[in-house]
C-alpha cells in the first residue's frame, strides 16, 4: 500500500501570529515538504492545481520536475490535474516529459476542480464540466496510446495526423486516478477505463465515501476489469498529531477555527466526528485510518493533507516526522496483513511496464504489482 501527502498549496495567514507567507515562501515550503516526505519513508507526494489566489501551484509539472531532480524514490503525482480546462494535448506532452525526467516515478489524478470561475478563464463553460471531462480524457488516452491521432470533438479544434511528443516512457502511459468529491459520473469514468478512483475523503461523512467507492467497484467489475475488490482505490485524509491528544486539539484549534475552507462553521469536535479529520495522538490516527477499510474495503493509496490552514512549515515537518516514524510503519504492516492475495497493490511504472510486456508476449508478467520504491525501476 502506498502512503503519502498531498498539498493544495494555499497561502493562508497563521492565525496564531498573524503572518502570511509570501508566494515564494509557500512554493519553496511545498518542495521542502516533498523532500521531507521521501526522507521519512513515504511513497507519494501530490500537488494540486489552482489558477486563483490564495493558491500557488498553477504549474504542477514545473514543481514536480524540480522535485524529481532532488529525489530518488518518491512517486510524484497530482492531487488534481484539471482535465476540464487544460488542453489534453498539453497534458499528454507535459506528463510524458515529466515521466522521462523522473524515470517513471509519475502518475496523476484527473479532476474538475472546485473553482467555478476557472472555466471562462480558459475559454470553457462550467455547465459543460462533465462532458469536458469525458471528451478530454478520451482524447488524452488516445494521444498516449496511438502514435498518430486523427480526432474531432466538440470542445477543441480537430487533430489530423498528430503525434504527441515525447512519447510515454517505455511506451507506457502514466497511471491515472480520477478524483471526485461528489460526482458519480467520475466514478463511472474511472471504472469504464479500469483506472484508479480517488475519493477526496475530506469534507464528507464516511457513508458518502462508502457509496461512491461502492459504485466505482461495481462498475469496475461490470466492465470486466476484475472483481469489485480488485478495483484500485485511493483515499484522502486530514490529520494533526501530538504525543498527547489534548495538546493536539489545543494547538490545532485556532487553525481549524480560522481555516478558509471550514472555519467559522461546525466546531472542531463536530467536524472530526462527522468527517475523516483526525486530531489526536499517533495511535488515534492509526486506529482511525485502519477503520477506513471497514467502509471502502481494501484500498491501494492513502494520502494525508498536512500543510493547510496557515500551519507553519516547522509544524508540518514535525507532523511528517511523526507520520513517517510512528504511524505509517504500523499502517503498512496492518493493512498488508489484512489484504487478500488476489487484491492488487497500487500500479507503478514498473508494474505497468511488466504488464505491457506480458501482454505483448515478451516476458512472463510475474508479480505485476509494485511499490513506491520500485516506481522508477
> % helix / strand / coil in the chain, to the nearest 5?
45, 15, 40
Residue of 255, 276, 92 whose CA lies nearest to 199: 276
What pLDDT is recorded for position 114? 67
Distance CA 339, CA 237 (A): 20
**Cell numbers given for 250:** 489545543
What structural domains does the chain harbor?
A: 2-370 (3.20.20.30)
Beta bridge partners of 55: 10
Residue 4 half-sphere exposure, CB side, CA atoms within 13 Å?
27
Query: Cis ω on the peptide bond leading into residue 338 (within 30° of 0)?
Result: no
**Cell numbers given for 96:** 510524458
Considering only CA atoms, give the Rg of the chain: 20
Q: How is residue 374 annotated by DSSP? A: G
Residue with grid cell 502518475, as numbered in its chain:
107
Distance CA 373, CA 111 (A): 26
Q: Are 264 and 309 in contact (CB under 8 A)?
A: no
Distance CA 202, CA 215 (A): 19
What pLDDT is recorded for position 363? 59
Tens digit of pLDDT at every position of the chain (377 positions): 999 999 999 999 999 999 999 999 999 999 999 999 999 999 999 999 888 889 999 999 999 999 999 999 999 999 989 999 899 999 999 999 999 999 999 999 998 866 778 888 888 888 888 999 999 999 999 999 999 999 999 999 999 999 999 999 999 999 999 998 878 999 999 999 999 999 989 888 899 999 999 999 999 999 999 999 999 999 999 999 999 999 999 999 999 999 887 777 899 999 999 999 999 999 999 999 999 999 999 999 999 999 999 999 999 999 999 999 999 999 999 999 999 999 999 999 999 999 999 988 875 444 444 433 343 43
Going by DSSP bridges, is the β-strand pair 149-151/159-162 parallel, antiparallel, or unpaired?
A: antiparallel
pTM over cut 0.85: yes
Amino acid at each position: 500500500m502506498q502512503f503519502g501527502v498531498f498539498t493544495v498549496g494555499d497561502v493562508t495567514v497563521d492565525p496564531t501570529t498573524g503572518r502570511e507567507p509570501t508566494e515564494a515562501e509557500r512554493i519553496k515550503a511545498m518542495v521542502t515538504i516533498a523532500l521531507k516526505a521521501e526522507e521519512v519513508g513515504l511513497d507519494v507526494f501530490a500537488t494540486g492545481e489552482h489558477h486563483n489566489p490564495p493558491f500557488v501551484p498553477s504549474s504542477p509539472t514545473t514543481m514536480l520536475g524540480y522535485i524529481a531532480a532532488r529525489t530518488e524514490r518518491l512517486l510524484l503525482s497530482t492531487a488534481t490535474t484539471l482535465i476540464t480546462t487544460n488542453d489534453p494535448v498539453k497534458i499528454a506532452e507535459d506528463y510524458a516529459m515529466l515521466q522521462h525526467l523522473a524515470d517513471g516515478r509519475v502518475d496523476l489524478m484527473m479532476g474538475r476542480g472546485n473553482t467555478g470561475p476557472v472555466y471562462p478563464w480558459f475559454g470553457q463553460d462550467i455547465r459543460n464540466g462533465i462532458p469536458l471531462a469525458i471528451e478530454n480524457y478520451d482524447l488524452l488516452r488516445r494521444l498516449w496510446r496511438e502514435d498518430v491521432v486523427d480526432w474531432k470533438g466538440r470542445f477543441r479544434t480537430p487533430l489530423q495526423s498528430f503525434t504527441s511528443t515525447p512519447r510515454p516512457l517505455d511506451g507506457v502511459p502514466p497511471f491515472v486516478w480520477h478524483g471526485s468529491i461528489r460526482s458519480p459520473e467520475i466514478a463511472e469514468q474511472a471504472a469504464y477505463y479500469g483506472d484508479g478512483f480517488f475519493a477526496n475523503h475530506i469534507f464528507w461523512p464516511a457513508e458518502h465515501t462508502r457509496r461512491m467507492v461502492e459504485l466505482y467497484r461495481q462498475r469496475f467489475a461490470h466492465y470486466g476489469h476484475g472483481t469489485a475488490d480488485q478495483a484500485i482505490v485511493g483515499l484522502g485524509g486530514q490529520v494533526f498529531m501530538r504525543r498527547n491528544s489534548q495538546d493536539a486539539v489545543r494547538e490545532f484549534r485556532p487553525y481549524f477555527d480560522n481555516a478558509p475552507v471550514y472555519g467559522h462553521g461546525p466546531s472542531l469536535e463536530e467536524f472530526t466526528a462527522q468527517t475523516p479529520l483526525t486530531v489526536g495522538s499517533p495511535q488515534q490516527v492509526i486506529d482511525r485510518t485502519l477503520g477506513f477499510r471497514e467502509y471502502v474495503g481494501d484500498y491501494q493509496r492513502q494520502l494525508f493533507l498536512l500543510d493547510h490552514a496557515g500551519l507553519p512549515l516547522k509544524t508540518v515537518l514535525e507532523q511528517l516526522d511523526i507520520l513517517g516514524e510512528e504511524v505509517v510503519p504500523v499502517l503498512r504492516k496492518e493493512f498488508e496483513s489484512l489484504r487478500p492475495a488476489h487484491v492488487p497493490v497500487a500500479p507503478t511504472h514498473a508494474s505497468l511496464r511488466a504488464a505491457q510486456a506480458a501482454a505483448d508476449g515478451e516476458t512472463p508478467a510475474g508479480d505485476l504489482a509494485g511499490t513506491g520504491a520500485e516506481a522508477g525501476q
